[in-house]
Structure 1
Amino acid sequence: MTDDFLLETRGLTREFSGFTAVNKVDLRVRRHSIHALIGPNGAGKTTCFNLITKFLQPSSGAILLDGRDITRTKPADVARLGMVRSFQISATFPQLTSLENVEVALQRSLGRSFHFWRSKRTLAPLREQAMTLLDDVGLAFAANRVVADLPYGQKRALELATTLALNPEMLLLDEPTAGMGREDVARTVALIRRISPNRTILMVEHNLSVVADLSDRITVLARGEILAEGAYGAISTDPRVKEAYMGKGEPAHV
């Protein structure tokens, strides 16, 4: 049933000067699931993600959010409908504290700018909510630390906290573990799992161990088209997927 799927694309296509980067992609993301979009370099993942998150307009096809056609809707309006790409609203202010950054995001979610000139007393109603969000991402201990002094993994966690300030129904994560060491990857995986209940998550991720650990369903792109789709067990043994990643005759560990 359509109601089971929060996000759908129908015939999604994007051409660049005669080159087809995404070709007639029909993607369906089930409500309250974690869905991964993967593929080898040049597969069209980033273009597809940018189309879904409205940073690019499709050449043809349609994008539906909860049954509503959002193909021509602006990114800010899509965010108000409950679909948020993490970096869209999570740019942090390096000279502010973690707590202040989340307060900025909370004020943005209310549709107003951050009031730097107001007293701390007038901003107090946001403080408890901001602390709850920091606690959700494991950063309560860093509430009063300046963001510029945080290690990379904690900055990424803070970005997720500022994203969650908008209380999105659907969260789109672009390479959430990129550039992280093993310990930070493990923390990020645990964090994504912790915030996933009652949310729908679509992520592009190169780290296939992360994909295997988190994903309910995986879509594999190759040459701009859907090559395979399913659970990790089926995807990892699919000869077409192995060939796409490794080439013929090569051992593959997908």
Structure 2
Amino acid sequence: MSVALQAKGLTKEFKGFVAVNKVDLTVEKGTIHALIGPNGAGKTTCFNLLTKFLQPTAGSITYDGRDITKMLPADIARLGMVRSFQISAVFPDLSVLQNVRVALQRRRGDSFDFWRSERELSRFDDEAQAHLDAVGLSEFTHHRAAELSYGRKRALEIATTLALDPEMLLLDEPMAGMGQEDVARTSQLIRRIAKNRTILMVEHNLKVVADLSDKITVLARGEILAEGDYATVSKSPEVVDAYIGAGHD
């Protein structure tokens, strides 16, 4: 398979503390790749390096064969690699439809769209509605975003991300804070949108990781401890010891 995202020798130091140490990571196109590890493993730092919210101390990052090591997050988003955040980021006082429409306007790169009339902006509505249909929010089109449950806010965030037409999605703990029903709904959504995209996600819910992931990279103390499918990494004594705890039986 061809490579979507690749890191070589990725390293990040903070005043002498090495949070990520010489990580080599390859995410293949068309797969769901999970990045997991215990607290303090360096996965959030690694994720922020890959999405360019942090600059590496050493190493390189390529996306679709292009060196993005020194690029800014907004620039790589324009290349088709877009991230979500652990905390849902929506405009609470706008309607669900308007939230997605903002993303469609941003994709056009016209900062003056906000000054245009509601009637003129309505030309984005059909496409915005299609994205809401895709994430199961059709019945909430005209609700204020603030009125949605937490899980549906995350679905709305994914809809706005899809409106940017990304080839690769990077999801930061998409199930964080969700109840069982929302977890199941969001898992189905991720599986559906992954059919024609590449996904890299940081996720604590091992059941979700086992269910969704084609490949898993386990970090511990800033280094790769194991890599493979869930059956492979879950049987690794090193992973059990590092991720679940030395007292696990």
Inter-partner Cα distance in structure 2 for 1:77 and 1:246: 38
In the alignment, which residue of structure 1 is the partner of 2:165?
A: 167
Residue 248 of structure 1: how far off its partner (Å): 2.9
Query: Which residue matches 1:38?
Result: 36
Q: Give the match for residue 62 of structure 1.
A: 60
Q: Deviations over 1:174-228 (max 9, x none)?
A: 0000000000000000000011111000000000000001000000000000000
Q: CA deviation at 1:119?
A: 3.0
Shift of 1:114: 6.6
Residue in structure 1 matched with residue 50 of structure 2 by the alignment: 52
**d(CA) in 2 for partners of 1:114, 1:91:** 22
Match of 2:111 among 110, 113, 118: 113
CA contact (8 A) 1:8 1:65 kept: yes
Q: 1:27 to 1:116 in 2, by over 3 A?
A: same
Name the counterpart of 1:221. 219
Task: Indicate conservation of the 8 Å contact 1:107/1:114, yes or no.
Answer: no
Q: Give the TM-score normalised by structure 1.
A: 0.94
- Per-residue CA distance 1:30-63 (angstroms, 9 max, x = gap): 0000000000110000000000000100000000
The letter for the 1-side match of 2:219 is L
Three-state SS of the structure 2 residue aligned to 1:54 is: coil
Give the count of matched residue pairs: 248
Letter in 2 for 1:25: V
Q: Where does the alignment leave 5 or more consecutive residues of structure 1 unmatched?
A: none
Judge conservation of contact 1:94–1:146 (CA < 8 Å) in 2: yes
Determine if contact 1:84/1:172 at 8 Å carries over to the other structure. Answer: yes
SS in 2 for 1:122: helix
Q: For 1:220, what is the secondary structure of its paired residue?
A: strand
1:138 aligns with 2:136: yes
Match of 1:102 among 79, 96, 100: 100
Cα distance in structure 2, aligned partners of 1:168 and 1:114: 23
CA distance in 2, matches of 1:205, 1:156: 14
Pairs within 5 Å for 1:19-34: 19-34=17-32
Matches within 5 A, 1:200-215: 200-215=198-213
Deviation at 1:67, TM superposition (A): 1.0
Q: CA deviation at 1:249?
A: 4.1
The answer as to 2:183 corresponding to 1:185 is: yes
**Counterpart Cα distance in 2 of 1:138 and 1:249:** 42
**Alignment of 1:11 onto 2:9:** yes
| Residue 116 (structure 1) shift | 4.2
When residues 148 and 24 of structure 1 are mapped into structure 2, their CA distance, relative to the original with a 3 A threshold, is same
Amino acid in structure 1 at the alignment position of 2:45:
T
> Does the CA contact (< 8 Å) of 1:87 and 1:159 recur in 2?
no
Change (3 A) 1:57 1:117: closer
Gaps of 5+ in 2: none
CA RMSD of aligned residues (A): 1.4
Partner of 1:74: 72
Task: Evaluate the alpha carbon distance shift between residue 125 and residue 61 of structure 1 in structure 2; reply closer, same or farther with a 3 A threshold.
Answer: same
Letter aligned with residue 91 of structure 1: A
Residue in 2 that maps onto 1:238? 236
